[in-house]
Homo-oligomer: A and B are copies of this chain.
Amino acid sequence: MEVTFDDVARAHERIAEHARRTPVLTSATVDALTGARVHFKCENFQRMGAFKFRGAYNALAQLAPEERRRGVVAFSSGNHAQAVALAGRLLGIKALIVMPADAPRVKLEATRGYGAEVVIYEKGESREQVAAKLSREKGLTLIPPFDHPHIVAGQGTAAKELFEDAGPLDFLLVPCGGGGLLSGCALAAKHLAPGCRVVGVEPAAGDDANQSFRARALKSIPVPTTIADGARTTSLGKITFPLVLRYVDDMTTVEDHELLKSMFFLWERMKVVVEPTGALAACALLEKRIEARGLRVGVILSGGNVDLAWAAGKLLGR
């Protein structure tokens, strides 16, 4: 399904009153290290702590009255859950979030805190079975985490704001899980600055999008083991893959140990709490996966929902 810049622009109007226009930060230290002029779009400051709110709100706001009345369902143990929960609350749409029985307690509580009903599924069942059942019994609309044109258009508003606030960019680096943020930002970037080179960044252990991009065919991998929990996806989507092929110039990967180092660098030097997935694009820059010297670079810091105790343990090497 086609997604265009007009869709991004309309999404932007739709979310304007509810999403936060997150700040764009610069860092003399990062500029000195890279030789570039780097602009960080801080989606860790977005509502519920990640860019996901943009897409979720844009999707829920476009439901028909009858769909709104019946409610929505989403499957996620991560940021998408909280995004759908919060968008639902703001729009008065009942949200059911299906989470695995072993989801972290803090995520369960955060999702409930945003007003959603959480449905736990057991190991024996599949997400699809639970989905079919809920959809059949309650007539709920499924809100997918990335593979939906309204989700993609919503995520693209992050890049639109970045270009509006930072001015022209030569490079745009974007974290990649299922490709919703990457494809939305890439299509927005190519519309606003056709010469801007867009690069998607995955954890090395979960490089399915890199594989698909190089093969020009949709590849799948087993669920990857990586600290970048927002990028533990097994493949791009039917909608995001063609958009990535069309609008993204290159893909790259970073190792988990590099990601951890970059994450703490962002905490310590830029004073921003970013989660591992949120640091993917910054890591590609800091680890010199691209040659940025003399260029204007945009980096999406996509989220900041990290368990501090986990991070403290990693920091102290435990």
Interface residue ranges, A against B (CB under 8 Å): 20, 23, 25-26, 28, 42, 44-45, 47, 49, 264, 267-268, 270-274, 304, 308-309, 311-313, 315-316
* Complex-state Cα separation, A42 to B273, whole angstroms: 13
Selected from B44, B47, B264, the residue in CB contact (under 8 A) with A308 is B264
* Complex-state Cα separation, A26 to B23, whole angstroms: 12
Given contacts A49-B271, A271-B274, 13 further A-B contacts (CB under 8 A): A44-B271, A45-B270, A264-B308, A267-B273, A267-B308, A268-B308, A273-B273, A308-B315, A309-B315, A311-B312, A312-B312, A312-B313, A316-B316
Q: A47-B28, A312-B312, A315-B312 are in contact. Are A268 and B264 (CB under 8 A)?
A: no
* Complex-state Cα separation, A313 to B268, whole angstroms: 15
- Best-surrounded residue of A28, A44, A273, A304 (most CB of chain B within 10 A): A273
Selected from B47, B268, B309, the residue in CB contact (under 8 A) with A273 is B268
Instruction: State the 3 A-B residue pairs at the shortest beta-carbon distance, nearest first.
Output: A312-B312, A271-B304, A23-B23
Tell me if B271 and A45 are in contact (CB < 8 A): yes
Chain B residue numbers with a CB within 8 Å of A26 are 20
CB distance from A140 to the nearest CB of B (A): 26
CB distance from A101 to the nearest CB of B (A): 25
Tell me if B25 and A45 are in contact (CB < 8 A): yes
Chain B residue numbers with a CB within 8 Å of A311 are 312
CB nearest to A86 among chain B residues? B28
* Complex-state Cα separation, A311 to B42, whole angstroms: 23
CB nearest to A24 among chain B residues? B23
Chain B residue numbers with a CB within 8 Å of A268 are 273, 308
Chain B residue numbers with a CB within 8 Å of A47 are 28
* Complex-state Cα separation, A270 to B304, whole angstroms: 9
CB nearest to A313 among chain B residues? B316
CB distance from A88 to the nearest CB of B (A): 15
* Complex-state Cα separation, A47 to B25, whole angstroms: 11
Selected from B273, B309, B315, the residue in CB contact (under 8 A) with A272 is B273
* Complex-state Cα separation, A294 to B272, whole angstroms: 29
* Complex-state Cα separation, A49 to B271, whole angstroms: 8
- Can you list 19 A-B pairs, Cβ within 8 angstroms, ordered by A? A20-B26, A23-B23, A25-B45, A28-B47, A44-B271, A45-B270, A45-B271, A49-B271, A267-B273, A267-B308, A268-B273, A271-B272, A271-B274, A271-B304, A273-B273, A309-B316, A312-B316, A313-B316, A316-B316
* Complex-state Cα separation, A271 to B274, whole angstroms: 7
Chain B residue numbers with a CB within 8 Å of A308 are 264, 267-268, 315
* Complex-state Cα separation, A95 to B158, whole angstroms: 42
* Complex-state Cα separation, A25 to B312, whole angstroms: 25
